[in-house]
Amino acid sequence: MNVPAAWYLILAAVLFGIGSFGLLTRRSALIMFMCIELMLNAVNLTFVTFSRTLSDVGGQASVFFVMVVAAAEVTVGLGIVVAVFRRRSSTSVDELSELKG
């Protein structure tokens, strides 16, 4: 039983839409990072789908690099969020705009 590639692409579009909606509407830095990760995973699903459809390894290699960038983004981003939370006791992005000097 093979699932058509269009279903994977529709799922990726829905995941990307949920991630972009969450990124634009939420004000917590942690939730914004989770939404960015959801969007990156939607792009990974698209790359793997086209890689499988075209029988090419290039899409899967791109997924590997996207995962490396996502891991680095999480590491640096969470480090910044923890440092700000220790200082301000909040992860609201609106309060972070007050740090402009």
Q: What is the spatial distance between Cα 49 and Cα 52, in angstroms, rounded to a whole number?
A: 5
Burial (0-12, 13-18, 19+ Cβ within 10 Å), 49: buried
Give the residue-averaged pLDDT of 34-59. 92
Looking at residue 89, its pLDDT comes to 76
Q: What are the domain boundaries of the chain? A: 26-92
**Of the candidates 63, 60, 52, which has an alpha carbon nearest to the alpha carbon of residue 5?**
52
pLDDT single digits (tens) 14-26:
999 999 999 999 8
- This prediction has a pTM of 0.82
Q: Which fold has domain 26-92?
A: Helix Hairpins (1.10.287)
